[in-house]
Amino acid sequence: MTDRPNLRQLEAVTLCGTVTAFILTLLSITTGVSTESNPLTAVLFEQIGFALSGLFAVVGISLAFAVLERFHSEFPNTVLLGATVLGLFSVMDVLLNLFVIYESPVLIIETLKVRVPIIETVNIVLSAVVVFFASVVAFFRNAPSKIDGR
């Protein structure tokens, strides 16, 4: 039987991967290196903005892991497999973003120096910070506590 720490570790990997991919995506989109290839994400970026789109992703992952946690005792291997798949998708998203950025790092640096207005840069940084802290809160939402005996 698998134990819950494995599930928590996979949740941490998934959240970290999502936040990293989100930041890399913002960097590549705002510098013009690429466009968002996922149609749902592109619509979310356009309709509700970067920060709320990132929060939507973090909340989705948090809910998915809450469901997995709920069924962990009944279906431990299936739950661990589902969590592993979520983690792998997150890591693959980071690798894809790194590949896009690797193809044109000089372009990104030059574009950041010249073309990105300060308000857009502030938007990127604030969006990244909001999503990062949301992922921290999501991860520690039900961390074991010595107070309640868990």
Distance CA 95, CA 129 (A): 21
Per residue in 42-52, pLDDT (tens digit) is 999 999 988 89
Q: Is residue 147 part of a domain?
A: no
pLDDT, position 148 = 42
Distance CA 6, CA 119 (A): 41
The residue to which tokens 């973090």 are assigned: 58
Q: Is residue 144 part of a domain?
A: no
Low-confidence ranges of the chain (pLDDT < 70): 1-5, 104-122, 141-150
Q: Is residue 145 part of a domain?
A: no
Backbone phi and psi for residue 143, each to the nearest 5 degrees, phi listed first: -65, 145
Q: Is residue 77 part of a domain?
A: yes
Q: Is residue 36 part of a domain?
A: yes
How many domains are there within the chain?
A: 1
- Complete DSSP assignment for 115-135: TS-HHHHHHHHHHHHHHHHHH
C-alpha R_g of the chain: 17
Beta-carbon neighbour count of residue 127 at 10 Å? 22
Q: Is residue 148 part of a domain?
A: no
Distance CA 124, CA 22 (A): 10
pLDDT, position 149 = 45
Q: Is residue 150 part of a domain?
A: no
The token duo for 49 is 């903005």
Q: Is residue 149 part of a domain?
A: no
Determine the structural domain holding residue 75 and report its residue range: 4-139
